[in-house]
Structure formats: C-alpha cells, structure tokens
C-alpha cells in the first residue's frame, strides 16, 4: 500500500514520507547501525533503490506498481575490500516494464568495489548467480559508476580513467566486457592530466560523470573535474571521441567577483561542485570564497551553460544566481560537500543537498528565485542519498526512509539574494526555454477537499432548503429530476456535456466511484481524440465551465421563468456579489473534480477567439473573469451612473436589451460572466460620447480618471488571479497543448481587443487628462493610473512572449515580430513619464520591463541619477545592459566619456574587442599591456592609407610590449622590422614622390616589393647606388623561397646596370671606368655595409640571360667589362678573407 506521513510542516515547506514503508531488512540495518557506519543509498528513477552497508547490498522497490511486489528486499554480498563500498559504485538495471523501467518486475545489478572488482547479477533474486571480473587499475581507486545506455555503465577512477562496462542481459550466459575509453587523436588528443595523462598517480577533483540524452549516433558524456568540463561522444566500445574541453574557472571567477565585490579575480577561489542537465543546458553548482576578505565565508551559486551545440565549446554562462545558503567558513570540512538535484527537467525547482540539509530552490529561472533550507541533523538524522521519480525529488533519510520536501511557493520569503544585483536572469534571454510544474501531495489534496466541503456547507453556495447538497439540478419547475433516468438512457455519447455534468454532481454528493465510472465510460475510451483541438472531452469541459460561470441564480424568484432545464445551481444567494463569490467556489470545485477523476492531463485545447487555446488556460480565464466581475461589482456603487450606462450599452450590442420583468440590466449582465470583457469596450465608448459633448476641463479629468479606476480595478483583479493561481491551472502532460501560443484575454489583440482599448485609454489620459489637470494631486493620481495601465499592457506582452518562445521558438519569425512590437510599445508607453518629468515612475517601469533606452536617458537627464548607471550595470549584468550603454556612447561619438567613466568595468574590455581602435586604450588603462600591443599590431597591419598612422601604432605597440611583464622579444623584433620598412617609405626621393602625385607628408602604406619597384623604377631618374642598396635591403622582408624572390633580386642588379652607358667606357684599364658605374658602386656599398655578395649578387651568366638585359646580350664590349668587374670583385673578396 502506498502511504504517506507528515514528518515536519511549516508555512514554508512540508516534509513527508514517500511510497510504501521500508522493508524490514532495511529498517533493521538502519536501527542496528551506529552513527559511524558508512551507509549510502541510491534511488533510481525506475522505482528501485539500493542501500550499501559494509559488504552488504540491499535491493528493494520504493515505488508501488501493479507489476512489482512491494515489501520484498534482496540482499547481495559485495566483493571483499579494504576500503568502503559506496552506492555510487552500484548500477541498477531494470528488466522489463518498458524503456523507462518504471513498471519493471525485476532488476539486474552491477557493482564495482573501490579496488576494481566487477560483480554482475543478471537478476537480483539469485544471490549466488553472478559473474565477476577484476580490472587492472594499477592501484587506482574507483570513484563512480554511471548508467550509460540500457546495458552499459561508465566507470570513473579517482585519477580520471574512464572505462565502459557492458553486461549481457541474458541470465543464461552473463558476461562482463570492459573497454577503456581513449580520446581521439586530433583536437584534444593531449587531454593533459585530466584523462590518460602523465600524472595518473595524482588524485584530482573529479565531481561528476553525467550521461546525456540518447542521440541517433550514440550518447554524449559529460565529465566535471576541478574547473574543467569535458564532453565526449560515444557511439559504442572503441568509438569514442572528446568533443571539447572547457576551462570554466574564469567564467565563474568573473561572476563571483561581481557578487563579492572583490578587487581582482585573483582573490576569488572557485570550486565546481556538481552538474546536472536540462536538455542542452548544463546546470552547475559552484562555491567560491574571497581570499582577500577577513571573513572568508563560502558562497554557493547555480549557473547555466549551453553544452549540446554541435562541437562548439561553451563560451559564456547563460545565467548565474547566488543561493541564500547558511554561511560556512572556508575551512569547514562539509562546506563544499553539496550536491545538485533537478527532479523535473521541465520545472523551475531544484535542490542543493548535503548530508545534513536540503536547500529547496523555487523559480530557478525566474527573476527572483526563492531558497528554503530544511535541516536533517535532529536525533542523528542525515541524508544518505537522493534521486527522482516521475518528476518528483526524493531523498533517503536515516530516520524516515524515502521522503519528499515540498515548498509552499506563495509563502516562501524572498531572502534569496545577497543584494538586488543577483536577480538578473531574464524570463526572455538566458533562460534557457524551461516551464514550471506543480506538485500537490495527497495530503494537500485531502485537506483542500475537506476545506472546500466545509466552505460549501457554510456559505451561500447551496440553497437554504438544500444545505445537505452542495449542488442541485434545477428544472423549469425548480425540482430535481431523477438522476437514474440519465444514467440508464445508454445514450451518453450524444451529449457528453450532460454526462460530465452528472459526474460532477456525483462528486459534489461525495460519490466519487460513480463520478469516476461515468467519466471513464464517457471519455477514457476515446484515445483517438486525445491531443487534438476541440476533442469531445475538451468541448465538454469548456462548455460545463462556461455554463457554471454563466449559471442562473436558482434561488432568486425573479429568475424562475428564465431558468433553463438541467441548470447547475452554482449559487443559492440572492445578493449579486455573493452570487459571484459562490460561482468562484463552484468553479474551484469543478477544477478539483476534473483533476480527481483523472482527466486533467488528458485535456488539450479548444478554439477561443478564433485561435486554439489550451483548455487549462480557458478554465483559468473563466476564473479570472469571475474575479473581474466581482471587482466590477465592488465599484458599481461608487460609479453607478457610468457602469449602469456601460452595462446597458453592452447588452444592446449583445441584443439582450429586452430585460425580463422584475430583473434589471445589471442582473442580466453579471449573470453572463463569460462576456465580462464587453464592459471595457462599453465604458470607453461611453467615455468618447461624453468627451465629444463638450465637457469642461475639470469634468474631462474627472471622467477619464473614473474610467481608468474602473478598468484598472477589473483587469488588475483578473491578472492577479492569473498570476497567483498559475500553478493550479498547469498540466503535467507535455502533449496537453502547452506548446500552443497563449494570449491572455486581458491582452487580446485586434481593433476590439482589450490591448488596443488600453492603448487608446493610455493615449487619452496623456493627451486629454494630464494636459487639463490643474493641481499636483490630480496629476499624481493620473500618472499612478497610467502606471497601472502600462503595467497591464506590458504584463500581457510578457506572457504572450513567453508563450510564443515556448511554442514557436526564440528564433521564429512570429516571436521576432511580437518582440519588436513589444519593444516599440514599451518605449511608447513609458516615454510620457519622462516627458512629464515623472522620473521615479519611469524608472520603476523601465527597470521592471528592461527598457534600457529609457534607463540611460534617465541617467543622462541631469536628475541626479548618473550614479544609477553603474547600479543598473550590476543589476542587469546578465541582460546585456552594459553592452547597450557602451553602444549608446559609441553611436553618439562620446568615446571619451565611455573610456573615462567605465574603464573600470570588466565588461568594457570584452565589448571593445570588435572595436580595436578603442580597445587598446582600455587595455592600457587596465595595465593589460600584452593585449594592448597585440591590438595595436593588428591595427597597424590593417592600416593601408597612412604611413604616419601605422608608424604611430607600431611605436605604441612597441612601448606596450616593453612595459609588459611578459617576454615579447619576438614581437618587438617584428615591430622593428615593420618600422624599418616605414623608414624606407620616408626615404623615397622627393622628386619621385612628386611624379607619383603622392602626399610626401603622409604616404600610403606599401609592401616591401612595391617599395623595391619604386626605388628601381625608370621614374626614379636620379637613382644612385643608395637607392639600389635600399632595394637590396628590402629583400630581407620577402620570402626567399621560390623563383619570384630570385627574379626580383636579379632585376635590381639589371636595373642598376641599365643606369650607365657601357659603350662609352673606353681606355687601357677598363676597371678605371667601370668602378664608377652605379652597378659596381652598389656592389661596393653592399659589401661595405655587410651584405654577403655571394648570396645577393648573381653571377654574370645569370645577368646576361635575364630579359631586362636582352638588348645587351650581343654586346661583347659590355660582356667583357662586366666579367672584368666581377673578376675584380672576386679578387677583392678573396683578399678580404
């Protein structure tokens, strides 16, 4: 039997037992073991559990199913060891019961001793039938065993060696195969000391080995060790590769630095404690301490990181939240013994647990998550293990067995953050695409049922003559028909709504067996309709809900002639306000009935306002309209004239202006709650008619203010109920239509939609009311109403955006268009507050809805808020506010202000990476000289228009390299070479520059080859040996490989030869003439300045064959002189040696 027992209950949380009682063997072990006993527990999500105590292993099922027998407990003997066995080295493999194993009747067991002895039982009930194998670990100790696929596990040692253990599912021939995982050669073949490195004798901080969701080609595997996250992809034994390895230390230090206010990241020490997966998001638990602080208390944080994006290495944290956990000193041994548990991959709840406490986090992905600690140190109690089952977190307590911890989200205090900066995760950006879930225990359900029954019996929920029955069926004669007629007609399929209504009435009479049987006959067989819009079940529920909120007051004699047959009498009161309150109670009971009979998660969607909408949202909408009707009724006395006129107008549009005798238009309107939105349009039309009649300015302000009060009261009440009871109307079924776009009825679009009407009222208030307000009090009241209207509009957009992101995806066209409209509307709605100097209200709205443009304008408006800019950068650090501000100043050309005011911000360096022309200034300011010289060199490389600018950049880069503490001799040498090339620019002959029409004061940047061509060109008519020597010098900056370099070198000498008239050189001693030629002067100059002529001077044959000297090949006189000169040069070189 399933049972539960409340262990501890506070307004913030409730601790209960989970599942059946513990088997006798387990209870005896817990009672007999002393406090020092090493007991550990694993709770598998298949419903099986194991407990390890010394060499004894106990297996039992903690969750009852129809197939598995409860109460049985199997005891197995673990391999002998000198160390301590742990449940982390046990793997439970369910057999049968489908893929999940939740209904499995039996379980296989794989156990590994700390020394590496593997023992496998194909079935747990046969203790002696097992296979055993010893692993050669070379003295290593086993750390953890992780299920990986259906019949495989990953064994990790404390030195980070990984092995895949495969077992045979056959009970006849059980085999254990072991394969050591090795990283593939290539991208991460080194794997340092993390895996298979040279330091296998050292024990590292391995934290978690985590298997990802199965993919078509295999499984991803994630390993968290010290500050490193590594991703593997494994297709099978021998088919594994390391996808990437990411050092996370810097990312976490940067975030903790901001939270702790540390002056430097070097003062932050970070520990990565645990990791869990949600789809393609890794949720990481981390701790940190500020070593420079005298009070070294550890802070705990939860961060998210995208991990499953092909082979891209993660580059940033998507979100970062500091948890409010009890402060612990850094030298406390248990301070870092914390683990992370995500029970429901689609929910916002997570748990941080240790041996003596559980911290429950609610709303993890909201802007203000809540944390609640539950202690387990009383009377020797402790947490021995944790897990999840069917989306619910479960823990194993030494004193109470399997337990659950449920938080009351509405009553949890928000003591969650160290300061306001930590609530930064946007509900639109870094969240990471995740919905919440609702968990209600049986105890809460029973209490709720009891309270509702008591409430119905004590209120005007029933007629005075029928207090014993919460509901009654009324006919035209106001008598109750025989229910057996409906039950025996055998024709329920023709009118399933009436059948559901009858089941509902049975539940109201506490006859749940009849109610459940009737519902099962009506709907549970129609499996072909499930998951479809407008299924018979969805239509029946929607119609019954609508009939309930539109029901007639059965006890009011004025309605006797109007009562339809088979009306569900949802109210017995004669007072209008009480009628609405009774309907609200009745509707709550209807929702409970739908859940109790098991059809809540079968609901999908119906068509509402021409669009599909989940039936759950429609039920919520009906409850909201009841709340709105009650709010309108409360305002009716104060604004009777306006509301009465609007009610009549609304009824005329419905063609219901013929009011039955004895009734009033008010009775007719409030009876039909499902059309409550009509009052907004009617009020605004009445407002327009009155304004066009020529009211005085004072009356205009009064009228608009009154309409604002009515509308905001009605819609705010509805929206408050929507937000406060959102969990009540959520479905746990992923196929229940939750992916459909949701547009709240108070944000309905279109010309007659409430959103458009609210925008018109906003404009009317600004244009007609504020302009005519004569005193400060009236203006203040009007702006308060404007703020409320703006809130309603933007909240509606937010809800629609979140729904669109879930339904269509953040990258969809629909989402992009909606977000653009929201952004434009947001600025339009908030701007009037700025224009009328309502700065505080503008700030509140801009902060709440992240209108960064408004916030920057506020800080720049000279209102004493400039210091707030730094505060906003901290508050919205995860939402891109800093980048927005930096771009704001760059777009306006205010670069000086950017570098002056924000140079201390670490985000500025990252932002300026694409802006190299500013980034190096920030690097200099932050003493990051190495980065500055690198940036300056890149800028110089890209510079092509100005030699002067390039020279300046290179000179600054050289200074930065010299100022750096790092060794930059190679970079300095490269800079000097580039500066030498610039010197050759500056030494170009002035007449040559003029001929080329260049600016001699600022030449364009040219390559060494281009400079050579200019020095030896025919336009350089006055060239001499100095020019040709410079051309030779420039050859050193070209690649020597290939024929192009050789050809250019030969051309330099050929052009030098052609500068002289060789035929005019006559005389007895030819050397007296040729030694004055430019060719031989260049050779002498090169020799004098240390050039090796054997390398840079071609031989005569090469020169004679070059195409530049084609016209002189047949000139024997020239050849004679040339060879004579070469002979003389050779003798000079020999003499020099």
Specify the pLDDT at position 566: 53
Q: Three-class SS of residue 597?
A: coil
Q: Is the dihedral of CA 672, 678, 680, 684 positive or negative?
A: negative
- In angstroms, the CA 587 to CA 623 distance is 7
767-784: average pLDDT:
91
Specify the pLDDT at position 274: 93
Please name the residues in contact with 467: beta carbons below 8 A apart, sequence gap of 6 or more. Answer: 457
Per-residue b/e over 508-547, b at no fewer than 16 CB within 10 Å?
A: beeeeebbbebbeebbeeeeeebeebebbbbbbbbbbbbb
**DSSP β-ladder status, 357-362 and 350-353:** antiparallel
- pLDDT tens-digit series, residues 429-446: 232 222 222 333 333 333
Please, what are the domains in the chain?
Answer: 38-246 (2.130.10.10), 442-742 (no CATH), 912-989+997-1004 (1.20.58.1380), 1007-1136 (1.25.40.700)
Greater confidence (217 vs 726) lies with: 726
Specify the pLDDT at position 142: 93
pLDDT level of residue 4 (50, 70, 90 thresholds): low
Q: In terms of C-beta density within 10 A (0-12 exposed, 13-18 middle, 19 or more buried), how is residue 689 classed?
A: exposed
Greater confidence (132 vs 435) lies with: 132
Q: Three-class SS of residue 246?
A: strand
H-helix or E-strand containing 971?
helix 969-986
pLDDT level of residue 330 (50, 70, 90 thresholds): low
Structure tokens at 506: 């049975």
766-781: average pLDDT:
91
Greater confidence (421 vs 988) lies with: 988
Looking up tokens 């907004």 gives 680
Residues 29, 376 contacting (CB under 8 angstroms): no
Nearest one of 478, 625, 624, 460 to 560, comparing CA atoms: 478
Is the pLDDT at 307 greater than 90? The verdict is no
Is the pLDDT at 622 greater than 90? The verdict is yes
Is the pLDDT at 488 greater than 50? The verdict is no
- In angstroms, the CA 226 to CA 272 distance is 6
Greater confidence (954 vs 1069) lies with: 954
Structure tokens at 348: 């916002």
Structure tokens at 762: 């906003």
Percentage of the chain modeled with pLDDT above 70: 78
Name the range with the highest mean pLDDT among 159-168, 175-184, 784-793, 916-925.
Answer: 784-793
- In angstroms, the CA 167 to CA 174 distance is 7
Specify the pLDDT at position 479: 32
Specify the pLDDT at position 443: 35
pLDDT level of residue 468 (50, 70, 90 thresholds): very low
Specify the pLDDT at position 419: 35
- In angstroms, the CA 764 to CA 760 distance is 6
- pLDDT tens-digit series, residues 951-1006: 888 888 888 788 888 888 888 888 888 889 888 888 888 888 888 888 877 888 89
H-helix or E-strand containing 990?
helix 990-995
Is the pLDDT at 52 greater than 80? The verdict is yes
Nearest one of 175, 151, 149, 146 to 163, comparing CA atoms: 146
- In angstroms, the CA 237 to CA 509 distance is 62
Nearest one of 340, 330, 213, 223 to 276, comparing CA atoms: 340
Q: State the alpha helices, DSSP H only, in 745-892.
A: 754-764, 771-772, 776-808, 813-835, 839-849, 852-860, 868-875, 881-891
- pLDDT tens-digit series, residues 647-674: 999 999 999 888 888 889 999 999 999 9
Greater confidence (102 vs 534) lies with: 534
Q: Please state the length of the chain.
A: 1137
Specify the pLDDT at position 183: 67
- In angstroms, the CA 243 to CA 257 distance is 30
Greater confidence (917 vs 536) lies with: 536
* Helix 536-549 × helix 576-596 angle, to 10°: 160
**DSSP β-ladder status, 39-43 and 48-53:** antiparallel
Q: What is the DSSP string of 486-520?
A: HHHSS-GGG-HHHHHHHHHHHHHTT-HHHHHHHHI
Greater confidence (465 vs 751) lies with: 751
Specify the pLDDT at position 390: 83
- pLDDT tens-digit series, residues 857-873: 888 876 555 577 878 88
585-594: average pLDDT:
93
Specify the pLDDT at position 199: 39
Task: Tell me how far CA of residue 186 lies from CA of 183, 190, 242, in angstroms.
Answer: 9, 9, 9
164-177: average pLDDT:
74
Q: Is the dihedral of CA 704, 706, 707, 712 positive or negative?
A: positive
Return the percent helix, strand and coil in the chain, to nearest 5.
Answer: 45, 20, 35
Is the pLDDT at 57 greater than 90? The verdict is yes
- In angstroms, the CA 1050 to CA 226 distance is 61
Residues 204, 158 contacting (CB under 8 angstroms): yes
Is the pLDDT at 448 greater than 80? The verdict is no
Q: Three-class SS of residue 404?
A: strand
pLDDT level of residue 34 (50, 70, 90 thresholds): confident
- In angstroms, the CA 928 to CA 919 distance is 11
pLDDT level of residue 1040 (50, 70, 90 thresholds): confident
Nearest one of 680, 692, 694, 609 to 649, comparing CA atoms: 680
H-helix or E-strand containing 77?
strand 73-77
- pLDDT tens-digit series, residues 331-385: 666 778 899 998 776 566 789 999 889 998 877 766 667 788 888 877 678 899 9
Q: Mean pLDDT lowest for which of 428-442, 673-687, 910-924, 1054-1068?
A: 428-442
Q: Mean pLDDT lowest for which of 136-145, 686-695, 936-945?
A: 936-945
185-209: average pLDDT:
48
CA angle 752–758–762, rounded 5-degree value: 140
Is the pLDDT at 490 greater than 60? The verdict is no
Structure tokens at 239: 């088919």
- In angstroms, the CA 568 to CA 472 distance is 6
Q: What is the DSSP string of 422-451?
A: G----TTTTS-S--------HHHHHHHHHH
pLDDT level of residue 630 (50, 70, 90 thresholds): very high
- In angstroms, the CA 581 to CA 629 distance is 10
- pLDDT tens-digit series, residues 209-224: 998 887 777 888 999 9
Nearest one of 728, 683, 681 to 705, comparing CA atoms: 683
Nearest one of 198, 197, 202, 170 to 182, comparing CA atoms: 197
| Average pLDDT of every residue of the chain | 79
Specify the pLDDT at position 367: 62
- In angstroms, the CA 774 to CA 793 distance is 27
Which residues are registered as beta bridge partners of 299? Answer: 288
Nearest one of 281, 429, 434, 317 to 811, comparing CA atoms: 429
Per-residue b/e over 118-133, b at no fewer than 16 CB within 10 Å?
A: bbbbbbbeeeeebbee
- In angstroms, the CA 110 to CA 108 distance is 7
- In angstroms, the CA 953 to CA 318 distance is 37
CA 571 to chain centre: 47
895-917: average pLDDT:
59
Greater confidence (484 vs 271) lies with: 271
Name the range with the highest mean pLDDT among 228-237, 362-371, 671-680.
Answer: 671-680
- In angstroms, the CA 1114 to CA 157 distance is 84
Structure tokens at 1096: 């840079």
Structure tokens at 290: 């500020």
**DSSP β-ladder status, 176-180 and 297-306:** unpaired
808-821: average pLDDT:
82
Specify the pLDDT at position 782: 95
The CB-based long-range contact list for 926-935 (8 Å cut-off, 24+ gap) reads: 929/960, 929/961, 929/963, 929/964, 929/965, 930/960, 930/961, 930/964, 930/966, 930/968, 932/957, 932/960, 933/957, 933/958, 933/960, 933/961, 933/964, 933/968, 933/971, 934/971
């Amino acid at each position: 039997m399933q049972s539960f027992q409340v262990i501890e209950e506070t307004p913030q949380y409730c601790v209960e037992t989970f599942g059946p009682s513990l088997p006798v063997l387990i209870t005896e072990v817990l009672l007999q073991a002393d406090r020092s006993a090493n007991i550990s527990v694993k709770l598998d999500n298949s419903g099986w559990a194991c407990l390890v105590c010394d060499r004894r292993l106990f297996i039992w099922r903690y969750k009852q199913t129809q197939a598995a027998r409860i109460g049985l407990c199997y005891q197995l003997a673990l391999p002998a060891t000198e160390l301590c066995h742990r449940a982390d080295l046990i793997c439970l493999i369910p057999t049968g019961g489908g893929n999940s194993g939740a209904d499995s009747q039996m379980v296989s067991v794989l156990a590994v001793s700390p020394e590496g002895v593997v023992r496998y039982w194909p079935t747990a009930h046969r203790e002696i039938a097992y296979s055993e194998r010893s692993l050669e670990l070379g003295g290593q100790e086993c750390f953890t065993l992780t299920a990986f696929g259906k019949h495989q596990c990953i064994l990790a040692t404390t030195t980070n060696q990984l092995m895949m253990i495969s077992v045979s599912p056959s009970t006849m021939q059980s085999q254990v195969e072991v394969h050591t995982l090795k990283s593939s050669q290539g991208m991460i073949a080194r794997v340092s000391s993390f895996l298979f490195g040279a330091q296998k004798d050292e024990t590292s901080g391995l934290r978690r080995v985590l298997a990802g969701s199965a993919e078509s080609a295999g499984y991803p595997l994630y390993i968290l060790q010290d500050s490193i996250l590594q991703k593997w992809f494994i297709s099978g034994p021998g088919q594994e590769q390391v996808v990437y390895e990411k050092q996370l230390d810097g990312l976490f230090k940067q975030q903790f630095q901001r939270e702790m206010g540390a002056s430097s990241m070097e003062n932050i020490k970070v520990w990565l404690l645990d990791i869990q997966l949600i789809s393609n998001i890794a949720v990481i638990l981390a701790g940190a301490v500020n070593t420079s602080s005298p009070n070294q208390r550890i802070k705990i944080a939860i961060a998210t990181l995208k991990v499953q994006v092909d082979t891209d290495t993660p580059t940033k944290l998507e979100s970062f939240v500091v948890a409010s956990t009890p402060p612990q000193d850094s030298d406390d041994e248990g301070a870092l013994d914390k683990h992370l548990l995500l029970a429901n991959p689609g929910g916002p709840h997570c748990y941080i647990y240790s041996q003596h406490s559980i911290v429950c986090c609610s709303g993890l992905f909201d802007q203000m998550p809540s944390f609640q600690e539950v202690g387990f140190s009383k009377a020797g109690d402790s947490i021995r293990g944790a897990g999840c089952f069917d989306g619910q977190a479960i823990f194993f307590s030494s004193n109470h067995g399997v337990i659950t911890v449920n938080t009351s989200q509405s009553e949890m205090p928000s003591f969650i953050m160290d300061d306001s900066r930590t609530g930064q995760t946007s509900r639109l950006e870094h969240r990471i695409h995740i919905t919440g879930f609702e968990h209600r225990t049986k105890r809460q359900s029973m209490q709720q049922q009891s309270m509702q029954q008591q409430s119905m019996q004590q209120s005007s929920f029933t007629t005075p003559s029928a207090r014993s029955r919460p509901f009654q069926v009324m006919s035209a004669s106001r008598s109750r028909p025989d229910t057996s007629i409906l039950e025996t007609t055998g024709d329920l399929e023709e009118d399933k709504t009436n059948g559901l209504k009858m089941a509902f009435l049975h539940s109201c009479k506490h006859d749940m067996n009849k109610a459940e049987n009737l519902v099962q006959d009506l709907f549970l067989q129609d499996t072909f309709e499930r998951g479809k819009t407008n299924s018979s079940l969805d239509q029946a529920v929607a119609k019954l809900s609508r009939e309930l909120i539109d029901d007639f007051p059965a006890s009011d004699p004025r309605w006797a002639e109007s009562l339809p047959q088979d009306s569900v009498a949802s109210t017995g009161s004669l007072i209008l306000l009480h009628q609405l309150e009774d309907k609200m109670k009745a509707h709550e009971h209807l929702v409970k009935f739908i859940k109790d009979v098991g059809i809540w998660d079968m609901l999908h969607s119906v068509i509402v306002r021409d669009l599909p909408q989940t039936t759950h949202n429609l039920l919520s909408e009906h409850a909201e309209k009841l709340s709105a009707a009650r709010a309108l009724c409360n305002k009716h006395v104060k604004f009777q004239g306006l509301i009465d006129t609007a009610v009549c107008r609304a009824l005329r549009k419905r063609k219901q202006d013929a009011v039955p005798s004895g009734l009033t238009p008010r009775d007719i309107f409030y009876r039909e709650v499902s059309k409550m939105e009509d009052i907004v349009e009617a009020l605004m039309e009445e407002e327009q008619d009155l304004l066009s009649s020529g009211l005085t300015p004072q009356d205009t302000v009064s009228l608009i203010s009154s309409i604002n009060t009515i509308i905001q009261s009605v819609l705010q009440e509805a929206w408050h109920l929507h937000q406060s009871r959102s969990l009540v109307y959520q479905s746990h079924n992923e196929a229940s239509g939750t992916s459909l776009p949701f547009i709240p009825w108070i944000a309905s679009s279109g010309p007659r939609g409430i959103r458009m009407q609210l925008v018109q009222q906003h404009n009317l208030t600004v244009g007609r009311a504020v302009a005519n307000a004569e005193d400060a009090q009236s203006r203040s009241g009007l702006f308060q109403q404007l703020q409320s209207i703006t809130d309603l509009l933007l909240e509606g957009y937010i809800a629609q955006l979140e729904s669109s992101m879930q339904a269509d995806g953040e990258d969809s066209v629909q989402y992009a268009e909606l977000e653009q409209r929201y952004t434009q509307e947001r600025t339009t709605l908030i701007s009037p507050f700025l224009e009328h100097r309502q700065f505080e209200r503008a700030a509140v709205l801009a902060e709440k809805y992240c209108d960064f443009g408004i916030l920057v304008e506020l800080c720049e408006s000279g209102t004493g808020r400039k210091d707030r800019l730094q505060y906003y950068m901290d508050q919205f650090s995860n939402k891109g506010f800093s980048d927005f501000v930096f771009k704001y100043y760059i777009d306006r050309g205010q670069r000086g202000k950017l570098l002056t005011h924000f140079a201390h911000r670490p985000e500025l360096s990252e932002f300026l990476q694409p802006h190299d022309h500013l980034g190096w200034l920030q690097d200099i300011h932050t003493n990051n000289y190495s980065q500055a010289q690198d940036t300056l060199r890149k800028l110089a490389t890209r510079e092509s228009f100005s030699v002067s600018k390039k020279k300046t950049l290179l000179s600054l880069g050289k200074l930065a390299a010299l100022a750096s503490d790092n060794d930059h001799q190679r970079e300095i040498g490269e800079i000097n070479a580039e500066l030498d090339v610039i010197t050759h620019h500056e030494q170009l002959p002035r007449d040559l520059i003029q001929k080329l029409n260049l600016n001699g004061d600022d030449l364009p940047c040219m390559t060494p080859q281009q400079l050579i061509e200019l020095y030896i060109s025919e336009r350089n008519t006055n060239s001499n040996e100095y020019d040709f020597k410079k051309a030779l010098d420039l050859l050193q900056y070209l690649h020597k490989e290939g024929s192009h370099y050789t050809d250019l070198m030969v051309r330099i000498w050929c052009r030098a030869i052609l500068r002289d008239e060789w035929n005019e050189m006559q005389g007895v001693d030819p050397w007296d003439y040729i030694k004055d030629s430019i060719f031989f002067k260049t050779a002498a100059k090169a020799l004098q300045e240390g050039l090796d002529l054997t390398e840079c001077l071609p031989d005569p044959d090469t020169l004679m064959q070059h195409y530049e000297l084609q016209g002189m090949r047949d000139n024997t006189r020239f050849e004679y002189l040339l060879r004579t000169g070469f002979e003389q040069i050779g003798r000079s070189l020999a003499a020099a040696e």
